[in-house]
A and B are shown apart, each in its own frame.
Chain A
Amino acid sequence: MFTKVHLLSMTAILTNLFDGVAYGMLLFVLACGLAVTLGLMNFVNLAHGAFAMAGGYVCMVLVNRMGWPFFAALPLAFVSAAAIGIALERTLYRHLYTRSHLDQVLFTIGLTFMSVAAVDYIQGSSRVFINLPAALQGQFDVFGVGIGRYRLMIIVICGLLTIGLQMVLAKTRFGSRLRAAVDDPRAASGLGINVPQVFAFTFAFGCGLAGLGGALSAEILGLDPYFPLKFMIYFLIVVTVGGSSSITGPFLASLLLGIGDVAGKYYVPKMGPFVIYTMMIVILIWRPNGLFGRTAAR
């Protein structure tokens, strides 16, 4: 992946930056649903990664086993994860919104364990790869900076999604309702906004995005049954560091995390995830509501 360059050369920095941005955008698509769940319902959903895994495996089965084209399988990854999301929201999750965080944590850890074992049972425990079309493989050089085609595609797709999300939130009626509900659920329901409905829809959409992210991430993050556990902390970092009052916060946090993680692995490979965890703890202590979250009321 890394071409032979001096560690601190400009091109290496740019290549790392590019990879980091791609990674960060992917994290954002994976985790932004979680931000909404937390911001809107104050619900701690540790099982969020399971929806991403579901999308990833659906995509893998469609492409590898049934011969679907990759780009046709992506929307289905979204739809299937969203469908599982709405089914679980309607049947199980909604009973837990008023419960303590401890109950929510226990419940979603339980779901995570079940999803891990179930996927292991159905698909086996080894890492799976999705067959990519030739057009997405390899990389090309722009002034010596190695640009991976696949990562470029991720930046394009995730970038468009982010712009789209921002537009929906800023311009549409649904967006303003959602913002009102996140801001103050009680006041919003007083204004006649059907908060549970808004939430169910948003939850499903967030799961769908996670599913899409899961499909896209198979190539970069690796897809195996332990995905929900391995990346749980990353999703949580995005949300807690970014705050849950807007999507700009999680977006910036994702980019920061993505760039930081890629650079950390490249420049201080031995320290591994150490840097990331330390950063997270420091930020949480320094700004308990997240780096970009609203400052504490009172």
Chain B
Amino acid sequence: MNASSDVGYHAQRQSRWHYGEVAFWLIVLACGFAFPTRYLIMTDILRLALFAMSLDLILGYAGIVSLGHAAFFGVGAYAAGLLALHGIINEPVLALVVAGLAAMVLGFATSFLVIRGVDLTRLMVTLGIALLLEALAERFSNITGGTDGLQGIEMQPIFGQIPFDMFGKAGFFYSLAVLFLLFLLARRVVHSPFGLSLRAIKNNPLRAAAIGIPVNRRLIAIYTLAAFYAGIAGALFTQTTAIASLDVFAFERSADLMLVLVIGGTGYLYGGLIGAVIFRMLQELFSTITPQYWQFWIGLVLVVIVLVGRQRLHRWVLYVPNLVIKQVAGRRAIVAVPESDA
């Protein structure tokens, strides 16, 4: 092999599909058939996974911290709800895209506020935007239904063919299809030159500019894309549960999302998916132990994760999977978490 094709081979190393990944998606698909009584919770996990993947795009790849990612989730949720409620767009897939675009417009508009400044300013501005939207949604209760939320949403069949059933089976496979498609897109994006430039910006913004990367434009682009993803997640929420209420904007939603991503690890796309599964399982577990006070345990998990150290924790968690992969595939483990701090 000459040096050039060798370089090409190695440059594509990360973007090639690995057995582990194929297995992962097959298992997810299999769950849809194996647990027909658990569609509701599984759909919930898929939504959360998509939402977390959206945060991973900006936090894990571009290093933008956000305490208000629920803003885009909320806009997507209300947009989908209003479209269905007033019969503006009845076909769910089309409505989903439109709702995502609505969140995307907001993401683009607010990205100019977010890319400025340091971490703390970003935290405050993102938090402020989410709170602002919550206040707006409460103020314009004639449109949003105020604290009662949107009620009486009835979903039409997907593509006019597949109706949402009461067991949530259609909802689950619909959500899974959306998640998988958006995952494919995200995977493509993060392994492109654009995605690589984001990682460079996260590593060292000054140096990134010094090799000719237009830092601000790239950050605006990924923030806008992430907003689209979050909007889709919100729209899925409304479409599969037929509710949209003020708490879609809540701070707790943004904070929980951070935890999901922290559990799963940032910067390799699967973090949000794995984190969502573990988070919901923990939540189930805690609410069986102490129904009202599960938030205490969630808080404890956050504290422990930070004290132990996120990197160390992920090395422990991934120790066994990596060992297996090494044995089976005989090469460097693929399930790795980037070493740097998000």
A interface residue numbers (CB < 8 A to B): 38, 44, 92, 95-96, 99-103, 105-107, 109-118, 120-121, 229, 232-233, 236-237, 240, 270-274, 277-278, 280-281, 284-285, 288
Contacts and interface: CB of A to CB of B under 8 A. Distances in A.
B123 interface: yes
Given A120-B293, A284-B124, A110 B301 contact: yes
B17 interface: no
Contacts of B117: 284, 288
11 contacts: A44-B123, A101-B119, A110-B302, A113-B302, A117-B295, A118-B296, A277-B128, A277-B131, A281-B125, A281-B129, A285-B125
Contacts of B118: 288
Nearest to B297: A117
B336 to A, nearest CB: 19
A110 B256 CA distance: 10
Contacts of A284: 113, 117, 121, 124-125, 128
How would you classify the secondary structure of chain A's contact residues: helix, strand, loop or mixed?
helix
B299 interface: yes
Interface in B108-124: 113, 116-121, 123-124
Interface in B60-113: 65, 67, 113
B123 A103 contact: no
A92 B302 CA distance: 13
Interface of B: 59, 65, 67, 113, 116-121, 123-125, 127-129, 131-132, 135-136, 138-139, 251-252, 255, 258-259, 262, 290, 292-303, 305-307, 310, 341-342
B70 to A, nearest CB: 14
B123 A101 contact: yes
Nearest to A115: B299
B303 A111 contact: yes
Contacts of B131: 233, 273, 277
A110 to B, nearest CB: 3
A271 B113 CA distance: 22
Given A102-B119, A106-B259, A273 B135 contact: yes
A278 B132 contact: yes
A92 B307 CA distance: 8
Nearest to A95: B307
A103 B307 CA distance: 9
B258 A103 contact: no
A270 B299 contact: no
Nearest to B126: A281
B128 A281 contact: yes
